[in-house]
Amino acid sequence: MASQGFWSLGAEDAGANPGSQSPSATLLNVGEVEKAADPAAKQPPEAEEAAGSCGSCGCNKSCNCTKAPLVFSDLYSTDLLPALDSDAKTMTFLQEVVDILLAYIVESFDRDTKVIDFHYPNELMQMNNWELQGEPASLDDILVSCRATLKYAIKTAHPRFTYEVAPVFVLLEYVTLKKMREIIGWPDGRGDGIFSPGGAISNMYAMLLARFKMFPEVKEKGMSSVPRLVAFTSEHSHFSIKKGAAALGIGTESVICIKVDESGKMIPADLERRILEAKQNGFVPFFVSATAGTTVYGAFDPLIDISDICKKYDVWMHVDGAWGGSLLMSRRHRWKLDGVDRQGLMQNCNQMHACYLFQQDKHYDLSYDTGDKAMQCGRHVDIFKLWLMWRAKVEHAAL
């Protein structure tokens, strides 16, 4: 059920009262929100009229409507802008979101509240429906998810905050990645992964893992302990492949570009020829980066043929899906990524065994302690945007 939000829908009327506060003034005084209002205080007649009319219909100006308050359990993301005649619904929904955020901010600065409402991962998984369903969630469910996420999240603005992980967002990343692996076709969604800041970092992660799988000693002894490695990618691939090779000490000259056909797809025969040529010259092929949606042409490399070649020569196959990987969500176009399920250490590759942060004696499943999988010490909360949008628009995400 919608409530009178942070910014009243009758704000224009309130602006006429010189004693009323603006939204910015209200925001500056959020510490005052829990003070009890004087029940005997008499509001001006115009304010009573505005509250009586606008509070019941959700209009953005004073009127005499008799519409019932919005019931978000009957509304979905498709009922908001840019849907026709959805201005008032959208405004009211956004007010609810702002109210949730303001309540969280006020609580975060309260020394009498907990820094975290701690629960073990298995308990937290049962306390709210975090799973991604096959049907879109109502707007009411979305608001419930927002409240639950903030309720169990770390209050980083709390005066007593020192350091902790992100319990809710780790769970959201877990359920989302598992669902994505199921869509790809991996049995029971088994596998591993993390969210990264973008495609360039993801490509470098892939190269890092491929090198570690073939030569795990490189993690401690460096590039001097391994032979000359070479990677392969198409002429139309993203420049981040060479950038990753430079950053990892492999060298841009060790990235061999494979010819493409007239539509911009990698030519498998040329890939096999260049792999054999590299081996004959004493180099070690360790990585092939196929592209699902090249930057300029939008071409999809023939993943099945490339996978067969990689298996034949025992080379790690990576698929750069930054541009077109989302087609896995499309019933109509996902065939363009046939073969992506053939790919297959992140923890072993990147972990530094920092026991002062990643204790091994915690009283819960340590697989939820994902911090040591990443090259970054801290990561931005990218998962929440995708998870919340997925819940709101799931049926529209598989077209």
Return the higher-pLDDT residue of 233 and 41: 233
CA angle 52/54/60 to nearest 5° reads 160
Whether the Cβ atoms of residue 21 and residue 11 lie closer than 8 Å to each other? no
Identify the band that residue 243 occupies on the pLDDT scale cut at 50, 70 and 90.
Answer: very high
355-379 confidence digits (pLDDT tens)? 656 666 666 666 666 666 777 776 7
Whether the Cβ atoms of residue 283 and residue 228 lie closer than 8 Å to each other? yes
Residues of the chain with pLDDT > 90, as a percent, come to 54
State residue 187's pLDDT score: 84
State residue 354's pLDDT score: 62
Identify the band that residue 194 occupies on the pLDDT scale cut at 50, 70 and 90.
Answer: confident
CA angle 111/113/116 to nearest 5° reads 115
Whether the Cβ atoms of residue 240 and residue 231 lie closer than 8 Å to each other? no
Mean pLDDT of 71-84: 95
286-322 confidence digits (pLDDT tens)? 999 999 999 999 999 999 999 999 999 999 999 999 9
Return the higher-pLDDT residue of 192 and 230: 230
Return the higher-pLDDT residue of 37 and 290: 290
Which of the residue ranges 30-34, 105-109, 293-297, 341-345 would you say has the lowest mean pLDDT? Answer: 30-34
> For 356-388, what is the HEC assignment?
CCCCCCCCCCHHHCHHHHCCCCCCCCCHHHHHH
Identify the band that residue 20 occupies on the pLDDT scale cut at 50, 70 and 90.
Answer: very low
State residue 372's pLDDT score: 65
Identify the band that residue 214 occupies on the pLDDT scale cut at 50, 70 and 90.
Answer: very high
**Distance between CA 104 and CA 106 in Å, rounded?**
6
pLDDT surpasses 90 at 67: no
pLDDT surpasses 70 at 258: yes
Identify the band that residue 62 occupies on the pLDDT scale cut at 50, 70 and 90.
Answer: low
State residue 10's pLDDT score: 41
Highest mean predicted confidence (pLDDT) among 27-31, 50-54, 191-195, 209-213? 209-213
Mean pLDDT of 331-353: 72
> For the chain, what is the HEC assignment?
CCCCCCCCCCHHHHCCCCCCCCHHHHHHCHHHCCCCCCCCCCCCHHHHHHHHHHHHHCCCCCCCCCCCCCCHHHCCHHHCCCCCCCHHHHHHHHHHHHHHHHHHHHHHCCCCCCCCCCCCHHHHHHHCCCCCCCCCCCHHHHHHHHHHHHHHCCCCCCCCCCCCCCHHHHHHHHHHHHHHHHHHCCHHHCCCCCCCCCHHHHHHHHHHHHHHHHCCCHHHHCHHHCCCEEEEEECCCCCHHHHHHHHCCCCHHHEEEECECCCCCECHHHHHHHHHHHHHCCCEEEEEEEEECCCCCCCECCHHHHHHHHHHHCCEEEEECCCCHHHHHCCCCHHHHCCHHHCCCHHHHHCCCCCCCCCCCCCCCHHHCHHHHCCCCCCCCCHHHHHHHHHHHHHHHCC
Identify the band that residue 191 occupies on the pLDDT scale cut at 50, 70 and 90.
Answer: confident
Average pLDDT, the chain: 81
84-124 confidence digits (pLDDT tens)? 999 999 999 999 999 999 999 999 999 999 999 999 889 99
State residue 363's pLDDT score: 64
Is domain 162-351+366-393 in CATH 3.40.190.10, yes or no? Answer: no
Phi first, then psi: give them for residue 208, nearest 5 degrees: -60, -45
pLDDT surpasses 80 at 137: yes
Whether the Cβ atoms of residue 247 and residue 287 lie closer than 8 Å to each other? no
Domain regions of the chain by residue span: 77-152, 162-351+366-393
Whether the Cβ atoms of residue 154 and residue 161 lie closer than 8 Å to each other? yes
pLDDT surpasses 50 at 147: yes
Which of the residue ranges 129-143, 184-198, 205-219 would you say has the lowest mean pLDDT? Answer: 184-198
State residue 175's pLDDT score: 93
- 146-150 contacts at long range (C-beta below 8 A, 24 or more positions apart): 146/97, 146/100, 146/388, 147/100, 149/384, 150/100, 150/101, 150/104
